[in-house]
Amino acid sequence: MRIAVDATPIRPGHAAGVEAFTYGLLTGMAADTSHDLRVNILRGTLDQWRDQVPADQLGWTEIAQPLRSDTPPGQLLRRWTPTRVRDSLAVRRAVNAVRQRSVPRQRGSDVTLYPFHSAPIGPGPSVVVVHDLRHLRAAFHSPGFAAVVRENVARASALVVTWPHPYRETLRLFPEAAERTALIPTPTFQPAPERAAARPEPGLLVYPSSTATHKNHATLLEAMALLPQCRLVCPGPLVEPDASRLLARAAQPDLRGRVSFPGFVTLDELNALYARADAVVIPSLWEAASGAMLEAFSWGLPVACADAEPLLAQLEFTGAEATVFRATDPASLAEAVQRLLADRAYYAAAARHANGRLAARTWAATGADYLDVLRWVAQGRPGPIPRSAFAAELSGEEAS
pLDDT value at residue 145: 87
Whether 315 shows a pLDDT value over 50: the answer reads yes
CA-CA-CA-CA torsion sign (261, 264, 270, 272): negative
pLDDT value at residue 397: 43
Q: Where are the beta strands (DSSP E) in 167-308?
A: 181-183, 204-206, 231-235, 259-263, 279-282, 303-306
Least confident interval from 193-207, 352-366, 379-393? 193-207
Same fold, 2-187+362-399 and 204-355: yes
pLDDT value at residue 396: 44
* CATH 1.10.8.640 corresponds to the domain 204-355: no
List all residues 6 or more positions away from 88 whose beta carbon is below 8 Å from its beta carbon. Answer: 143, 144
Which CATH fold topology does 2-187+362-399 show?
A: Rossmann fold (3.40.50)
| CB atoms inside a 10 Å sphere around CB 75 | 19
Most confident of 16-25, 76-85, 131-140, 275-284: 275-284
Whether 309 shows a pLDDT value over 70: the answer reads yes
Domain limits, the chain: 2-187+362-399, 204-355
* CA 30 to each of CA 102, 364, 387: distance values in angstroms, whole numbers, following the listed order: 26, 8, 20
pLDDT value at residue 104: 63
Adjacent-strand bridge partners of 280: 206, 303
Contacts of residues 346-350 at CB distance under 8 Å and 24 or more positions apart, as own/partner, are: 347/279, 347/302, 347/303, 347/321, 347/322, 347/323, 348/300, 348/301, 348/302, 350/302, 350/320, 350/321, 350/322
Whether 28 shows a pLDDT value over 80: the answer reads yes
pLDDT band per the 50, 70, 90 thresholds, residue 13? confident
pLDDT value at residue 43: 92
Q: How many residues does the chain have?
A: 400
Q: What percent of the chain has pLDDT over 70?
A: 89
pLDDT value at residue 400: 38
pLDDT value at residue 80: 67
Whether 398 shows a pLDDT value over 80: the answer reads no
The CA-to-CA distance between both ends of the chain, in Å, stands at: 27
pLDDT value at residue 399: 40
Return the amino acid letter for 2. R
pLDDT value at residue 199: 64
Whether 88 shows a pLDDT value over 80: the answer reads no
Adjacent-strand bridge partners of 183: 161
Three-state DSSP class for 204? strand
- Whole-number mean pLDDT of the chain? 89
